[in-house]
Structure 1
Amino acid sequence: MSGFRTGVNPPLGQIPQGILVGVGSLAVIAAGFVASAFPPADVVPRYGVLVLVVLAFAAATAGWTAPLLTAVIGFLVFDGFLVNTLGQLTWHGTPDGLRLIALGTAVIAGRLVGDLIHGPGRERPPMATSHSPIEEDEHDA
């Protein structure tokens, strides 16, 4: 049995999801700066900026992992720096629940838009196999 893992790297031309999470985090931080230009009383437009950025990011990526993690990071940035101050996280009940639903909807809508734009022919990562090439050679012999 080989000690090497197979099926871990993305296919040629696809960006790893970890890199995309970093890019999404930067986009969320930029959205936070843009949203902070709105007065604190205008909560809906402030959150709308974040939701639109998450939707656009989800449409531009090929997987679910990076957009979902970006949405979670976006919620934390919004709650910590735009609702509260200095990064303090608190739960505000129904308003925060609705904000999470809005971000989840943005991720789903963004992925649907991305699939419609890029079509069903977009390459998907290959499934990882549970056996190694060495095992195949042993079975062939």
Structure 2
Amino acid sequence: MYRAKELTVATWGRGFHDITDEVQRAVAESGAREGLCTVFLHHTSASLLLCENADPDVRKDLEAFFSRLVKDGDPLFRHDAEGPDDMPAHIRTVLTQNSLSVPIQGGHASLGTWQGIYVWEHRTAPHHRRVTISVLS
């Protein structure tokens, strides 16, 4: 059995947006007891992240690290058609991921105790991000 659900995540700009509950809901609605859940983000300037969900400092530290690693407005970058965060957002996405796979066990996405699934918006302005959650059982 294969089922897919699409959702739109409204971001408020750069930062993390927890979609764990939406993924779990999609798995439950699919009726799958065992299988694989794939989450795919249809964008090149945002990422998906499987990350610590208990301490928000983890996400703050990730953002601080990437802000140091890939600076907005760096004169090295030629691609700035949409502003100084344009190319840095693409680089952040390439260095992370736009697809995740999570096993389904007992009718839910089998995440670790401290794991959450996030859309990581890399642009400074708000966006609407399209996510497809696919369930195969």
- Shorter-chain-normalised TM-score: which range? 0.3 to 0.5
Kindly name which structure, 1 or 2, has the bigger radius of gyration based on alpha carbons: 1
**Relative contact order, CA 8 A, sep 6+: which one is greater?**
2
TM-score by length of 1: 0.32
TM-score by length of 2: 0.33
